[in-house]
């Protein structure tokens, strides 16, 4: 009975304080593409992602009624160095046009967001000033937005003296068209949210202290105590409770409030299914930071295999740098790359299901090698370039010189090729009812058979990673080693596992290719996804480090080309490799047949 009365009271207060207008709601999914185009057109970074974030609840000044209801839950936009987090819908204004303008305003603020590290309060004022000066079209919509924002501010009479002073400063900022850099007075709580501002989005590096460190809760920004998880549960951050001290008190009604706090060590997941079942039964999940002594902890890395069954390390490790895009500098000796050799490799012949294709590919490579190399669109040559001639006739230019000839150079340049394969855990998934790793093994075998048929030097390597101290670089065949049953057995012994720290693998492949004596050097990368690892090597950090490694290779005269099986590769592959330097394998293509054909096209 008491619980039912409490629920009815909560619903009544929530309806009374609600400021949502469902009839005027604007959904993010309907305008996401337009917002992304607007962000880029206004000069924002094309790598800044647009993510969804549900309403945020935090302690702010505004009276006592918000503590009893969801009045402290607000539709706000968050920003970090990787993404702009926008609410899935905006319905805070009765006019749908104002709700749409709020989305536009957030994107405009993100496009002109100051890069210099400053307090978020100052960054918002700088961004507002830039919007007014650089985007006058959007600034013309400011008066109506300002009027709507001022109407939802709390009453000054309900605030304490310090909170009232800060509220007056906020209103002064909203009422002037050119914001000044006013500073808020020190207060116990945030001022009532400024809806058009971009609030800082906590990241792993910024919000979680290192082991053994204490969390500083003195800053007003740490008053954010609850965050909703999209479509599932809500989470609340609580302080650690000491089990060894305090008053022992038993109250029978507390049996119904077990979800208030559970002392769970999140990194230890002995029974993941049981943890998931328990989490599903809770309405709200409370998260706390535990500060146990470092000496009392024993760390086990369950990602690492036992030494008796792991592949054989050939070296204690090669230290490599890594590019930190925010610092715009290399982190020296940041990664340790370990060359490895398969423990289970045995001499094997060509698998039965590939023998017919191998014979065909070996014959094609020999035929391609015997064909004279042609240089098209020359000013002089032995034959007419038909394609160039047709283009010249159909689209004449003012240039008197007509490059419509084909020449046959007498000497073909020597070439060395290195094929680098991604064997991370994701290659264990299925495409066309077959594991990706099986297609990678077959493609490596067929490709190697073709190059062996024309006696062209080539290398085969595979890579995966477990954080920056364990980048596994599998040797399948080096350039000086003959292609044999043993090297074929190493390819067939490849197993998927771990993650994709691609930058370090590309840097080591570049070093290997630079030792080649041939005039041309090709690096072909075969992968099924974007760079990632279990630590911070994901999202933009991993992409920028990989892109830097590719640029380093190109600067040293190495041609880089990627073959990817990721259906979303068009979103990031042009930034990584260049729009003309990658190929997306679709579902109706066979990787085994595609790789030799692509290699021939690149060699023309």
What mean pLDDT, rounded, does the chain reach? 76
Packing angle, helices 591-603 and 355-370, rounded to 10: 10
Question: Which element (helix H / strand E) includes 507?
Answer: helix 502-514
Question: Which element (helix H / strand E) includes 41?
Answer: helix 28-41
Band of residue 380 on the pLDDT scale cut at 50, 70, 90: low
The reported pLDDT for the residue numbered 432 is 74
User: What average pLDDT score do residues 184-201 get?
Assistant: 73
Q: Are 124 and 55 in contact (CB under 8 A)?
A: no
Measure the CA–CA gap between 281 and 283, rounded to whole angstroms. 7
Band of residue 374 on the pLDDT scale cut at 50, 70, 90: low
Q: Which token pair is 453?
A: 């048929």
Residue 299 in this model has a pLDDT that exceeds 80? no
Measure the CA–CA gap between 473 and 452, rounded to whole angstroms. 23
The reported pLDDT for the residue numbered 59 is 54
Residue 395 in this model has a pLDDT that exceeds 80? no
- Kindly report whether the global pTM for this prediction surpasses the value 0.75: no
Strand partners, 190: 60
Residue 256 is classified by DSSP as G
* Closest to 487 (Cα-Cα) out of 455, 445, 439: 445
Q: Are 464 and 528 in contact (CB under 8 A)?
A: no
* Closest to 441 (Cα-Cα) out of 487, 409, 376, 402: 487
Q: Are 184 and 191 in contact (CB under 8 A)?
A: yes
Q: What proportion of the chain, given as a percentage, has pLDDT over 70? A: 64
The reported pLDDT for the residue numbered 268 is 42
Residue 71 in this model has a pLDDT that exceeds 50? no
For 158-170, how does the pLDDT look when each residue is reduced to its tens digit (9 = 90+)? 677 777 777 777 7
The reported pLDDT for the residue numbered 30 is 87
Q: Which range, 290-294, 374-378, 522-526, has the best average confidence (pLDDT)?
A: 522-526
For 165-189, give the secondary structure using H, E and C.
HHHHHHHHHHHCCCCCCCCCCCCCC
Measure the CA–CA gap between 148 and 528, rounded to whole angstroms. 48
Between residues 262 and 205, the one the model is more confident about: 262
For 472-495, how does the pLDDT look when each residue is reduced to its tens digit (9 = 90+)? 999 999 999 999 999 999 999 999
Band of residue 449 on the pLDDT scale cut at 50, 70, 90: very high
The reported pLDDT for the residue numbered 450 is 93
User: What average pLDDT score do residues 433-461 get?
Assistant: 93
Q: Which range, 223-227, 228-232, 404-408, 590-594, has the best average confidence (pLDDT)?
A: 590-594
Q: Phi first, then psi: give them for residue 28, nearest 5 degrees.
A: -65, -40
The reported pLDDT for the residue numbered 409 is 60
Domain 323-370+415-603 has CATH 3.40.50.80: no
Beta strands in 325-445 (DSSP E): 329-341, 375-378, 383-384, 405-407, 415-422, 430-431, 434-435
The reported pLDDT for the residue numbered 124 is 82
Q: Are 465 and 533 in contact (CB under 8 A)?
A: yes
Q: Are 488 and 350 in contact (CB under 8 A)?
A: yes
Q: Are 197 and 99 in contact (CB under 8 A)?
A: no
User: DSSP string of 206-232?
Assistant: HHSPPTTPPP---SGGGG--EEEPTTS
**CB contact set of 390 (below 8 Å; sequence gap of 6+):** none
What residue has token string 């013309």? Answer: 140
Q: Are 534 and 303 in contact (CB under 8 A)?
A: yes
The reported pLDDT for the residue numbered 373 is 61
**Could you give the residue range(s) of every CATH 3.40.50.410 domain in the chain?**
323-370+415-603
* Closest to 437 (Cα-Cα) out of 482, 498, 362, 356: 498
User: What average pLDDT score do residues 505-516 get?
Assistant: 95
User: Which segment of 249-263, 273-287, 392-406, 525-539 scores lowest on mean pLDDT?
Assistant: 249-263
For 82-126, how does the pLDDT look when each residue is reduced to its tens digit (9 = 90+)? 788 888 888 888 888 888 888 888 888 888 888 766 677 778 888
Band of residue 397 on the pLDDT scale cut at 50, 70, 90: low
The reported pLDDT for the residue numbered 591 is 83
């Amino acid at each position: 009975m008491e619980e039912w009365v409490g629920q009815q009271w909560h619903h009544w207060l929530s309806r009374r304080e609600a400021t949502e207008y469902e009839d005027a709601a604007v959904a993010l999914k309907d305008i996401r593409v337009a917002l992304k185009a607007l962000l880029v057109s206004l000069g924002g970074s094309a790598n800044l992602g647009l993510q969804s974030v549900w309403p945020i609840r935090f302690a702010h000044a505004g009276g006592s009624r918000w503590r009893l209801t969801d009045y402290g839950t607000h539709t706000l936009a968050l920003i970090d160095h990787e993404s702009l987090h926008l609410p899935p819908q905006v319905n805070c204004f009765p006019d749908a046009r104002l709700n749409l303008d709020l989305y536009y305003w957030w994107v405009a603020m993100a496009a002109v967001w100051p890069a210099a590290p400053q307090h978020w309060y100052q960054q918002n004022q700088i961004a507002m000033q830039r919007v007014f000066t650089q985007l006058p079209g959007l600034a013309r919509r400011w008066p109506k937005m300002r009027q709507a924002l001022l109407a939802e501010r709390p009453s000054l009479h309900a605030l304490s003296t310090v909170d009232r002073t800060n509220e007056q400063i906020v209103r002064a900022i909203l009422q002037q068209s050119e914001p000044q850099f006013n500073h808020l007075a020190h207060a116990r709580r945030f001022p009532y949210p400024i809806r058009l501002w971009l609030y800082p989005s906590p990241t792993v590096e910024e919000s979680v202290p290192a082991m053994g460190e204490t969390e500083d809760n003195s800053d007003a920004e740490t008053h954010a105590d609850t965050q909703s998880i999209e479509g599932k549960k809500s989470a609340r951050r609580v302080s650690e409770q000491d089990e060894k001290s305090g008053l022992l008190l038993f109250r029978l009604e507390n049996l119904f409030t077990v979800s208030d706090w559970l002392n769970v060590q999140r990194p230890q997941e002995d029974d993941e299914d049981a943890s998931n079942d328990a989490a599903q039964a809770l309405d709200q999940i409370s998260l706390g930071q535990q500060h146990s002594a470092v000496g009392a902890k024993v760390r086990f890395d369950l990602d690492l295999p036992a030494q008796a069954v792991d592949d054989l390390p050939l070296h204690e490790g090669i230290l490599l740098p890594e590019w930190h895009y925010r610092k715009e500098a290399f982190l020296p000796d940041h990664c340790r790359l370990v060359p490895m050799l398969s423990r289970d490799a045995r001499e094997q012949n060509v698998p039965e299901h590939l023998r017919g294709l191998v014979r065909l590919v070996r014959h094609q490579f020999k035929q391609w090698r015997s064909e004279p190399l042609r240089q098209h669109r020359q000013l002089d040559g032995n034959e007419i370039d038909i394609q160039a001639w047709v283009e010249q006739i159909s689209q004449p230019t003012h240039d008197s010189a007509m490059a419509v000839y084909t020449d046959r150079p007498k000497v073909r340049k020597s070439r060395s090729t290195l094929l680098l394969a991604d064997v991370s855990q994701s290659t264990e998934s299925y495409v066309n009812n077959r594991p990706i790793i099986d297609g990678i093994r077959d493609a490596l075998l067929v490709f190697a058979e073709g190059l062996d048929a024309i006696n062209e030097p080539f290398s085969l390597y595979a890579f995966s990673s477990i954080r920056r101290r364990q980048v596994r670089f599998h040797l399948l065949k080096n350039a000086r080693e003959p292609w044999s049953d043993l090297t074929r057995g190493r390819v067939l012994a490849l197993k998927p596992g771990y993650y994709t720290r691609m930058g370090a693998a590309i840097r080591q492949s570049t070093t290997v290719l630079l030792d080649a004596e041939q005039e041309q050097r090709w690096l072909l990368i075969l992968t099924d996804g974007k760079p990632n690892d279990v630590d911070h090597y994901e999202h933009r950090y991993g992409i920028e480090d990989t892109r830097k490694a590719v640029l380093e290779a190109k600067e040293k005269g190495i041609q880089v080309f990627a073959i990817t099986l990721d259906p979303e590769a068009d979103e990031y592959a042009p930034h990584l490799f260049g729009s003309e330097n990658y190929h997306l394998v679709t579902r109706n293509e066979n990787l085994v047949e595609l790789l030799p054909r692509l290699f021939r096209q690149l060699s023309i």
